[in-house]
Amino acid sequence: MPELPEVETVRAGLEPLIVGKKIRHVTLFRPDLRFPIPKDLPDFLAGREITSVKRYAKFLFFEVDTSAYFVCHLGMTGRFRIEGLGAVAGAAFAHPVPIIAKHDHFACYLADGTALIYNDVRRFGFIEWCDGPIEHYQRLYRFGPEPNSERFSVPYMWRVSKASIGPLKTLLLNQAIIAGLGNIYVCEALFRARLRPTRKANTLTKKQAGALHASVNSVISAAIKAGGSTLNDFAHADGSAGYFQTCLNVYGREGEPCYVCAVPIKRITQSGRSSFFCTNCQK
């Protein structure tokens, strides 16, 4: 579910609640996620301290002992929450508190008696560990630059556009080209750039590639800002609770009037996924 801004909101919300805390115990309730949670993850984490929470694209990196990470991808429906376990201070840890909710798959019990719990209805998400720097994490090696990063420049946008024969929708969803965009923000960025999702990438003018570059950056930073205003509610950071949703121009608005020209928003399917756009504003 979550795209880069939602994952960033989750990261920022979790950070102050878990950094500096020691992991006492880890329980896997249901390890068969998108990829199985490694059986040795509990042993790997036990006794270590969470030293930071980082993010690249839609991946969360929970750093332990400043040297290794457990990595999580939320897939479509993954969520983290903190449970206060009401532990008595100083009491010896006996047994983990039983699972509380349906679809809880992973619990990380912390030394202060709280627990970091991963819940994922569709189990498209996954949790792995990475012993070493983030750059060594295998799934990132072919990922492209993030929006608003130095490597994601106008010349880069122009170059990858020229090199792609497919539609812009496909180009922007490709994590190897730009890391972190998903269906919603691709639709929104294309609206801002006044370009259709079906437009062949290699037909862009230089000016249009520049507009697309600016749109990708602006829609992502605006969404992060919107999520950032409700950090205390990171559990709902999939966007369903609102936040940036109120700022969406086209996504999910089929048949409703375009805010710019009032022509009804159109929905089409591209390689099995919905694209929303204004037939009048976007060329």
Query: Which residues are known to be catalytic?
Result: 2-3, 58, 273
CB neighbour list of residue 129: distance below 8 Å, 6 or more residues apart:
38, 41, 44, 45, 68, 69, 70, 71
From 31, 103, 222, 279, residue interacting with DNA (rule: CB under 7 A): 103
Q: Give the side-chain half-sphere CA count within 13 A for 260.
A: 13
CB neighbour list of residue 155: distance below 8 Å, 6 or more residues apart:
none
Of residues 163 and 263, the one with the C-beta less far from DNA: 163
From 24, 48, 58, 196, residue interacting with DNA (rule: CB under 7 A): 58
Residue 73 found at the interface with DNA (CB under 7 A)? yes
- Of all helices (H) and strands (E), which one includes residue 164? none
Residue 166 found at the interface with DNA (CB under 7 A)? yes
Of residues 63 and 238, the one with the C-beta less far from DNA: 238
Alpha helices in 41-85 (DSSP H): 41-45
Residue 194 found at the interface with DNA (CB under 7 A)? no
Cβ atoms 185, 8 nearer than 8 A: no
Residue 165 found at the interface with DNA (CB under 7 A)? yes
d(Cα 277, Cα 241) in Å, to the nearest integer?
23
Site mask for DNA (CB under 7 A), range 15-54, x = bound: -----------------x-x--------------------
Residue 2 found at the interface with DNA (CB under 7 A)? yes
Q: What SS3 class is residue 32?
A: strand
The residues that bridge with 32 in the sheet, in sequence order, are: 36
From 43, 162, 271, 283, residue interacting with DNA (rule: CB under 7 A): 271
| Residues binding DNA (CB under 7 A) | 1-3, 6, 32, 34, 57-58, 73, 75-76, 102-103, 121-124, 139, 163-167, 170, 173, 175, 181-184, 238-240, 271-274
